[in-house]
Structure 1
């Protein structure tokens, strides 16, 4: 085995280009996520070839310089989302190596962990089941096997030279690379279980497959043994496609003033335009930008708001229609958007994909697109757990990135209406009839709510002071319990519930918020048993931060 010196880096780059060229067609064929545009293999090959060619034109004095030459060229030539991520893998390794003459096993493990950090940081919303999750599995395994302190991602030139990388303990570089490839192969095999489009097409993630090629090549460069860690790439029937959007890429020079804030705002703006947003560091004050969107001009204007775009590249993007081979019953899906982690876990336990959003914000366009497109279904019903969440969901129903899918939003004003809709969902029913049934169930569910007044106010039922407990029914204040009443929450909860049941009801669903007093569910259960034994009561932890209790009556 050999250490990763400058010559080994050169051999690695050559092996990467050779194998990516050989497997380009296979990788392109399995490219179905985020769009089935059959170019992931080509993009990885283009990016790595440019990096290899740049390294061939210089004589780097050490491994760190060789990795830096690869990374700099890859960032500037990166093509597609996968190409940008690969460039960040190389950049992370280069930064970790510093000016090291060569990398031993510990240093290589640290470099691969740094690659994971750099690549993940560049992507606006990392997704499980992609190239990033394969890379992260490698980083976790290396950390567990060798320890995060075994090799430093911040080693100085002096420390490297002092060590001379001649340590007699620790793993050989080839052992680290071989383990990395094995872990990547195992993680790649799991990607169809993590992303519905991959499962529907019967393939693994194309970007992850390309990353495995790169790691196999690294192991070969260090051990002299050529091995393919994952040979059973499953062919897939190409999805029907229609041109709907564009892949926009450019380099952006950003001024030093408020750079972090500018980049954060740029990510937000691009996420509102489309998906697959990447903002990756490309050098001093320079960043590689990537987005899939329908409006090329808006993507460039977003960059102009924060710097100087240059090296602009735009290519047509093919948005997939769901494969014709999707099994019966899997051609449609129901998804939910809610506030509260506990509620999200409750919904996920029923097999419904869910997007959890913090109470103080709305979901971004990219988050909603990923939720909808991640189902690989032709018909998607969205159940948003609130008025503002409903409005956000309705804004993306006609987005170009969901073209080919029928996206329907069932308006819900409260999470209890989401649960009511899910309770009547029947996958065996026709899609239109199922939507109608869910919409009717949501609309028929009356909603109650208990909150604490944040400030003094005047309501229909009298004056309110900050700290008072307010009871709402269908959005209107119906009672106020003064803040100085010891059992004000229990009294308010029972008061709201009794008012709701006074006009009828057979099933009461209560979602308990984070700030609700302990035992409130037992208080309500005892009251219902004593006063309304004909009514069924179920209580769940909701995890919501904006209401102590959410009550639904059906």
Structure 2
């Protein structure tokens, strides 16, 4: 396939960028020393791109429901991507990334299918708009990396493939030079964390356009370049104070709070808002347009920052973070780990992105307790939460817990009986809480999730729903056969209706390797049409033992 930039390419870009940031998240968090050493840049970028990807998927789903043949246009897909990033932007880096994407909008969506010249203009527009959005831009940051990517693209030969590869290479070179531009990076021996995340996003764009790495695994954020990424010693105030942090962004002695909110306001109100917030604190970034803005600032007076938003328009989704608490959480982050037993490559990747240490479980091959105990040791944490995700693995998991406790590790076993319960538990995992509180919250989330699976009978047998024959499709709810059918999709619909008859707010679908084509679309449509106010999320689990797992919360 020749290089192209269309709606499916945007969708692929989102997926590859999300996967790349998921793999690099912990590394990026570890080198986050500027503008504040709070260890969350990788997480913020991941959450921002996740919001962008969800918006793009929603556009594709809407078109598929209306007409399976006609998909969204490039303007529809890219505007969804940039809008999703705007409303989901987290932290300084995520807010800047949202503006970079917004800056690409007009050059890419105006007129015909974009060519190399349009992509060059888009990259330059992205860099320029990001600089304008930051009140006091500093060199040696992701702004520098974005500008270098645009410059390299402008000097590249014609052709979409040449432009995206040049942009990626230019960004990598600029990233390697960031320690020479910021004293805080040089003293810590790291490159800029936001810049590293942007390189990952541009690598994903290159792969999506050229098809060089269709699985999203070939291009790592810093592929081809060795970066010294010594973690920042978050618990040492002396180390922080020794850093030479230029400009208005200080790791120590700066404002105590980060304030972020979405703001509905006319464009005329934004300059006044920017002036007022600039006088209150630093690290000010205001991005957006068309009446919707994402505001990010570091201040001591939280109330004044929010009042400024109220005077400008209507602020909502207000998030306030105390940097002292954030640094404390960063210091404790590696004291606790989650170990999850999962089947299927997709589920393994999903749990790993959520921060879990994964033990792969193959159909018919149960891991021994010694293998599970070894994984607990590999987590290198003082406290470990173990998710077996299968009733048949609980005995081996329990024995592994006893072995690990003998090694001095504090371990808690949460009795998850299905991968969907494990997903629910991981969703509420918070390492900043006390260990017991975290275990209780995760156990409660897992227990509140009813689980089901749709499987194919291997032989004739008696069940709670009657006699089944080999080849029949079985719908098991909370471990018991409740439905016997002949078709995976029909059986899944019956299972969903039974589960949702008792109520529910969220349905989770995990597709197995043998899931029939169109299964997810049919089930999502059924839930949307038959069960109002119930949301659905779908994952490609890749498990080989059953075509479908279902969770209802």
Task: State the TM-score, normalized to the length of structure 2.
Answer: 0.50
Q: Aligned pair 1:272/2:282, yes or no?
A: no
The whole-number CA distance in structure 2 between the counterparts of 1:301 and 1:65 is: 35
Q: Aligned pair 1:209/2:174, yes or no?
A: no
Equivalent pair of 2:55/2:84 in contact (CA under 8 Å): yes
The whole-number CA distance in structure 1 between the counterparts of 2:209 and 2:234 is: 42
Equivalent pair of 1:192/1:204 in contact (CA under 8 Å): yes
Gaps of 5+ in 2: 61-70, 213-217, 238-251, 329-553
Is the alpha carbon distance of 1:263 and 1:19 closer, same or farther for their aligned partners in structure 2, counting shifts above 3 Å? Answer: same
* Aligned partner (choices 304, 310, 327) of residue 304 of structure 1: 310
Q: Aligned pair 1:124/2:135, yes or no?
A: yes
Deviation digits for residues 56-79 of structure 1, max 9, x if unmatched? 111363222211100011100100
Q: Aligned pair 1:227/2:219, yes or no?
A: yes
The whole-number CA distance in structure 2 between the counterparts of 1:229 and 1:10 is: 19
1:330-345 matched pairs, under 5 angstroms:
none
The whole-number CA distance in structure 1 between the counterparts of 2:298 and 2:233 is: 18
Deviation digits for residues 520-544 of structure 1, max 9, x if unmatched? xxxxxxxxxxxxxxxxxxxxxxxxx
> Helix, strand or coil: the match of 1:234?
coil
| Matching residue of 1:48 | 49
| Matching residue of 1:171 | 158
Equivalent pair of 2:4/2:210 in contact (CA under 8 Å): no
Shift of 1:320: 7.8
Equivalent pair of 1:249/1:288 in contact (CA under 8 Å): yes
| Matching residue of 1:284 | 290
1:459-538 matched pairs, under 5 angstroms:
none
CA RMSD of aligned residues (A): 2.1
Give the greater-gyration-radius structure (CA).
1
> Helix, strand or coil: the match of 2:285?
strand
Task: State the TM-score, normalized to the length of structure 1.
Answer: 0.50
Q: Aligned pair 1:191/2:178, yes or no?
A: yes
* Aligned partner (choices 233, 256, 277) of residue 239 of structure 1: 233
Q: Segments of 4+ in structure 1 off by > 6 A?
A: none
Q: How many residues align?
A: 292
1:98-137 matched pairs, under 5 angstroms:
98-100=109-111, 102-137=113-148
1:23-422 matched pairs, under 5 angstroms:
23-59=24-60, 61-100=72-111, 102-143=113-154, 145=155, 171-225=158-212, 226-228=218-220, 230-231=222-223, 232-241=226-235, 245-255=256-266, 259=268, 262-281=269-288, 283-318=289-324
The whole-number CA distance in structure 1 between the counterparts of 2:31 and 2:138 is: 18
> Helix, strand or coil: the match of 2:59?
coil
Is the alpha carbon distance of 1:240 and 1:29 closer, same or farther for their aligned partners in structure 2, counting shifts above 3 Å? Answer: closer
Gaps of 5+ in 1: 147-169, 322-554
The whole-number CA distance in structure 2 between the counterparts of 1:56 and 1:67 is: 11
Deviation digits for residues 97-132 of structure 1, max 9, x if unmatched? 125553222221111111112211111111100000
> Helix, strand or coil: the match of 1:57?
helix
